[in-house]
Amino acid sequence: MKIYICSLLSKKNFRFLNSHLKSLNRLKVPNNIKLKIIFVASPKIYIVRNFLKSILSNVDYSILESAKDNIPESRNVFLKFLKNKNVKYAGFIDDDCFVDKDWLLNMIKFISKNNCDIVGGPQYHAVRNRSFKDFYDVLEPNHNHGQLVKWVATNNCFFSKKVFYKSRVFFDPKFASVGGSDQLFFRKLDKKKFIIRWNKKSFTTENFNPQREKKYWFFKRNLRYGYSGNLIDKKIYGKTGVIIILIKLLYLISAALFLIFIPSRKNFIKAIFLLQRASGRFIGLLNYKPKKYI
């Protein structure tokens, strides 16, 4: 049984590549599985070939070139590559994360025992300032093991061949500057009745990044989640998208005000995050367009 896992290589995450590759080397792979890691890189960073060769000793891999240096296009390179391959399962992981050694084993067990086509799992975060742990806990989705969900992120996902053989769904390049193309991709698959579930036992951990241990980074991230949420809803709901956006905007504000009256550190952080996402949705309604990825 063949399994291909994709990792997009980016120049900004070079400092984490050593940790990322070593975690792939440690993955436990069943004897009946032929695992291959597919790296997608732009021509600008193709010099990474020799580095991969020096680190990856236990894993088979290939490198694909992405002509356009943006995330949605690079993900589509992998999906198109899969079309002509005899692969049963595939997945995405991020190049700034290290993967738990049992990640693959747990993904195979989960998708085999549960009625689903797509599986997502949690991404944890290495922190130095423990006060930011609560920020990440609130930022990341919190689902029960085995729960049905509408979408998962490409930082940790696994899916059956139905997704790349039958769906004809690809990542939208228009989301390159605002993010959210993975959410839209899986929301479209959910709409096509693909079953998506959450697997808590297969996790990745994002390497410590000092640039993200700043409150301003979380402000920008939540603002972007709100803004891109508008674009996703317009794509999913069409003409009724604006009504859905207004309902969600009111929900975000109401939920934030409710949480403020239940005193706790996490509730306060969550309330602030919800208001920041509401702000992102509001400026999106005013046709604000970010000049660069936020």
Residues 6+ away with beta carbon under 8 Å from 93:
5, 6, 7, 99, 155, 156, 204
Q: Is 179 left (phi over 0), alpha (psi -120 to 50) or beta?
A: left
| Strand pairing report for 89-94 and 196-198 | unpaired
Edge-to-edge strands, sheet with 204-206: 97-99, 204-206, 123-125
Alpha helices in 140-177 (DSSP H): 162-165
pLDDT at 293: 54
pLDDT at 177: 87
pLDDT at 282: 95
Query: Rounded distance, CA 247 to CA 257, Å?
Result: 16
pLDDT at 287: 79
| Strand pairing report for 118-120 and 196-198 | parallel
Query: Rounded distance, CA 227 to CA 281, Å?
Result: 5
pLDDT at 46: 64
pLDDT at 244: 97
Radius of gyration (C-alpha) of the chain in whole angstroms:
19
Tokens encoding 73: 């296009």
Q: In sequence order, what are the beta bridge partners of 60?
A: 36
Query: Rounded distance, CA 108 to CA 159, Å?
Result: 10
Single-letter amino acid code for the residue at 28: K
Q: Which residues of the chain carry a pLDDT beneath 70?
A: 46, 290-294
